Amino acid sequence: MKRRLLPVAALGLLTLTQCNSSTSSSEANKSGTTAAAADTASFKVINEQFADLRLLRYQVPGFTALSAKQKEMLYYLYEAALSGRDIVYDQNYKHNLRVRRTLEAIWEANQQQLSSSDDAQKLSVYAKRVWFSNGIHHHYSTRKFVPECTPDYFAKLVKSVDAKTLPLQPGETVDQFISFITPIIFDPNVAPKRVNQVAGQDLIKTSATNFYGEGVTQAEVEAFYAKKIDKNDQAPISYGLNSQLAKNKDGQLEERTWSTNGMYAPAIKRMVGWLQKAANVAETPEQKDALTKLISFYQSGSLKTWDDYNIAWVKDTKSAIDVVNGFIEVYGDPLGYRATYESVVSFRDEEATKRIKAIGDQAQWFEDHSPIMDQHKKKNVVGITAKVITTVVESGDAAPSTPIGINLPNATWIRKQYGSKSVNLGNIVEAYDRASASSGMLDEFAYSPEEIARARQYGALAGKLHTDMHEVIGHASGQINPGVGTTKETLKNYASALEEARADLVALYYLPDAKLQELGVAPSPDVAKAEYDSYLRGGLITQLTRLQPGETVEEAHMRNRQMVAKWVLEHGKKDNVVELAKRDGKTFVHINDYAKLRTLFGELLRELQRLTSEGDFKAGKNLIETYGVQVDQALHKEVLARYEKLHIAPYQGFIQPRLVPTLNGDQVTDVTIEYPTNFPQQMLDYGKKYSFLPNYN
């Protein structure tokens, strides 16, 4: 599971010239890259802003101090991560690779003209949005976005490029291609939503995701897996995780497995080649064993081997270098079976890990003192490895938009029997904090000067502790009753939102606890107050900036936060625990009783754990649909108007660092790190170097 960051604020808009600047690769190396030794204080975190997006950069402190062998291994993992980049595009939508390659061809051929006219600038913004979202649907809302330029202008540019650079199908003419691709790009009614979560609709037929073949229905998917899954299996494999479910020529459903011998083979073979190199320079036997099993999984497509790999990965606790690589998170599947490709390459931040490790070492204490029912508590919490990591590169579903916390594996039985790894992405969080330091969000949306002062003093630490507790204790806590089955079977399309809410509530419940002060990780009770302020402000007000007028909430993390915030607002009304206060025509969240609010968090946590443990779909659906979906349109209109005056973007992501090897023949003798500043150029470079899949797979 991943923790996504709440809306954070940008400092301001760059000029169109800055946003649309583009240089050649050689020029980027000279002027578009900052030396690795750049001083942190002078390092420019904010790069550019367009549409509702802002691009940042992050540093990789400590990289130069690593040994040559460690750098070599990181380079191999870096190449493996980026080699799978095409996969997520194809998973998100079947036409994404053709759209991306069309935009790459246009951009390469028309770099000098991309800021010369209004239409040109609009198309350049669209191209960057596609790169940011790994496709034509918004990375967060999953709604389709379309260019603001005209179809005629787009067609003119397509015709101006060498046809050999266009993603034409065999025998297809340029005119035929334009006729085919234009509605895919410009018609908002063609594939309008990548992931549909509207209750009562066929979630498969109404979702554009490429996880399912043509003509497959939700009822067919559910029946297909109902026959396969044994709810009494104490070690169930993650059915459907690494395959597309489609109908064969006889109309029968079958899984098209993603492996070196199946779907996505060209990219996966490249990934395996780099992973084999990494395994040869592994830091420990445990790390080599894990990588070897990961390679075997990619070669066989066996989900049993995937479980074996995850167990081996959890056991590798001594290696400084680590990698997340695979088909992992199921947020992109409306039914929660299939996972998108992602990779995060990192090494441990030894000093910062002391904070998160102190929490992980007390996991049993937190479980024992939880407000959940005794029968839902784990009697023996095992194997929680907690650390802060320094991210080196992210790819697939983890980039450009990134999580700030990760807890894996996702299989509950592995977490129960073997443990889990919980990480805080330290340098990513640092970059976010630097970018949002003077955004104006607090001044506009915080209730009082005291709240603002508390946030400025403790907000950054409070956010880190919430992430620590969410990942380390939250996702690892509680247990499902025997014979109930996994949450994707019982809670279905509400499983992700409910699980994120459960983990959030564990963190919120414990943040004020004296235990955190005893552990030395929270210097004051005001740390918890700062997070309570921030969480409710986000869940009730500021996350509305991510929605367009008239929209409801569909993304799992947003549903989670709104559900929690609205539930405590309603259930605390009698004692006026939390109120939506009005002042000068503006709405604010004001907490009147922090102690009672903690009690409410505990009560909701108890109920969420109950419905998770018992597989109570009706109760879970009721919570999300009652509190997590609908939006107060009058409040939304007010919030958007206030937010617009700040001139900031609600979504952020990153340009990735670049690793450059020094070679002696085929031998890597050293690796240096660079920090590119040109997002389009990085995307073009990736498109040339890591484009391994055909247009259709």
Residues in the chain: 697
How many Å is the Cα radius of gyration of the chain? 24
* Cα(135)–Cα(98) distance, integer angstroms: 10
pLDDT given at position 678:
96
Q: Are 232 and 239 in contact (CB under 8 A)?
A: no
pLDDT digits (tens, 9 = 90+) for 191-217: 999 999 999 999 999 999 999 999 999
618: how many CB neighbours lie within 10 A of its CB? 8
Measured from the Cβ of residue 164, the count of other Cβ atoms closer than 10 Å reads 7
pLDDT tens sequence across 226-251: 999 998 999 999 999 999 999 999 99
Query: What mean pLDDT is reported for the chain?
Result: 92
pLDDT at residue 674 greater than cutoff 50: yes
Q: Are 679 and 652 in contact (CB under 8 A)?
A: no
The C-alpha atoms of residue 61 and residue 603 are separated, in whole angstroms, by 42
Q: What is the pLDDT of residue 109?
A: 85
State which H helix or E strand residue 495 sits in: helix 495-510
Q: What is the pLDDT of residue 32?
A: 43
Judge whether residue 38 has pLDDT over 90.
Answer: no
Q: What is the pLDDT of residues 302-347, one digit of tens each?
A: 999 999 999 999 999 999 999 999 999 999 999 999 999 999 999 9
670: β partners: 662
Q: What angle do CA 626, 630, 633 make, to 5 degrees?
A: 145
Q: Which of 417, 444, 193 is nearest to 314 (CA)?
A: 417
| Distance from C-alpha of 258 to C-alpha of 244, rounded to nearest angstrom | 8
Given a cut of 70, is residue 265 above it in pLDDT?
yes
Determine the Cα–Cα distance for residues 3 and 425; give it in Å rounded to an integer: 10
**Cβ neighbourhood burial of 134 (10 Å; 0-12, 13-18, 19+):** buried
The predicted structure's pLDDT at residue 17:
25
Specify the range with the lowest mean pLDDT, choosing from 109-123, 278-292, 297-311, 455-469: 109-123
CA separation for the pair 281, 667 (Å, rounded): 12
Confidence of residue 113 (pLDDT cuts 50, 70, 90): low
Task: Give me the residues paired with residue 246 across strands.
Answer: 254
Task: Judge if pTM exceeds 0.85.
Answer: yes
Task: Kindly report, residue by residue over 345-356, the tens digit of the pLDDT.
Answer: 999 999 999 999
User: Strands of 46-50's sheet, edge to edge?
Assistant: 46-50, 53-57, 651-655
CB 551 within 8 A of CB 141: yes
Alpha carbon distance 282, 571 (integer Å)? 53
Rounded to whole angstroms, the Cα distance separating 607 from 336 reads: 22
Give the number of other CB atoms < 10 A from CB of residue 645: 9
**Positions of E strands within 26-73:** 33-34, 46-50, 53-57
What pLDDT is recorded for position 37?
42
Whether the per-residue pLDDT at 30 is higher than 70: the answer is no
More confident call, 41 vs 104: 104
The end-to-end CA distance of the chain, in Å, is 27
Span 495-535, pLDDT tens digits: 999 999 999 999 999 999 999 999 999 999 999 999 999 99
**What is the sign, positive or negative, of the torsion defined by CA atoms of 337, 343, 346, 349?**
negative
pLDDT of residue 664: 95
CA 71/CA 633 separation, integer angstroms: 52
3-state DSSP assignment of residue 582? strand
Where does 78-198 show beta strands of DSSP type E? none
Cα(120)–Cα(273) distance, integer angstroms: 40
Structure confidence by residue, pLDDT tens digits, 130-153? 999 999 999 999 999 999 999 999
Residue 98 has pLDDT above 50, yes or no: yes
pLDDT at 631: 97
Give yes or no for a contact between 401 and 139, defined as CB atoms under 8 angstroms apart.
yes
Angstrom distance (rounded) from CA 124 to CA 51: 11
